[in-house]
Amino acid sequence: MSNVYAGVLAELGPRIVDGRLAPGSMLTLDWMQTEYAVSRTIAREVVQVLASMGMVESRRRVGIRVCPENEWDHYDPAVIRWRLEGGNRAGCLHELSQLRAAVEPPSAGLAAAHAGDAARVEIVRLAHAMETAGAAGDLVTFLDLDVAFHRLLLRSSGNVMFAALGDVVEEVLRGRTDHHLMPPVPKPEARRLHLMVAEAVAGGDADVAHAAMHAICVEVVSEMQRRR
Q: Where are the domains of the chain?
A: 3-71, 77-227
Note whether 73 and 79 are within 8 A (CB): yes
Q: Which amino acid is at 37?
A: A
CB atoms within 10 A of CB 220: 23
Percentage with pLDDT > 70 across the chain: 99
H helices of the chain, where? 3-17, 29-36, 40-52, 77-84, 89-114, 117-135, 139-156, 160-163, 166-178, 188-203, 206-227
Which option is the CATH number for 77-227: 3.40.50.300, 1.20.120.530, 1.10.357.10, 3.30.950.10?
A: 1.20.120.530
Asked: is 3-71 a CATH 1.10.10.10 domain? The reply is: yes
CA distance 160 to 60: 37
CA distance 220 to 224: 6
Residues comprising the chain, all counted: 228
Task: Name the pLDDT band for 91 (thresholds 50, 70, 90).
Answer: confident
Give residue-wise pLDDT tens across range 48-72.
Answer: 999 999 999 998 878 899 999 999 9
So what's the pLDDT on residue 228?
A: 66
| Whether pLDDT at 114 is above 80 | yes
The separation between the first and the last C-alpha atoms of the chain, rounded to the nearest angstrom, is 35
So what's the pLDDT on residue 1?
A: 55
Give residue-wise pLDDT tens across range 4-49.
Answer: 889 999 999 999 999 999 999 999 999 999 999 999 999 999 999 9
Q: Which amino acid is at 176?
A: R
Q: Which amino acid is at 156?
A: S
CA distance 133 to 177: 14
Task: Name the pLDDT band for 180 (thresholds 50, 70, 90).
Answer: confident
| Whether pLDDT at 109 is above 80 | yes
Note whether 13 and 72 are within 8 A (CB): no
Q: What are the Cα distances from residue 120, in Å, to 71, 104, 115, 127, 212?
A: 39, 17, 6, 11, 16
Q: What are the Cα distances from residue 194, in Å, to 57, 186, 209?
A: 43, 11, 9
CA 9 to chain centre: 18
Q: Which residue has the higher pLDDT, 63 or 120?
A: 120
- Pairing relation of β-strands 56-59 and 26-27? unpaired
So what's the pLDDT on residue 225?
A: 76
Note whether 66 and 25 are within 8 A (CB): yes
What mean pLDDT value characterizes the chain? 93
So what's the pLDDT on residue 134?
A: 95
CA 3 to chain centre: 23
CA distance 176 to 28: 35
Please state the pTM of the whole predicted model.
0.88
- Say if 3-71 and 77-227 have the same CATH topology: no
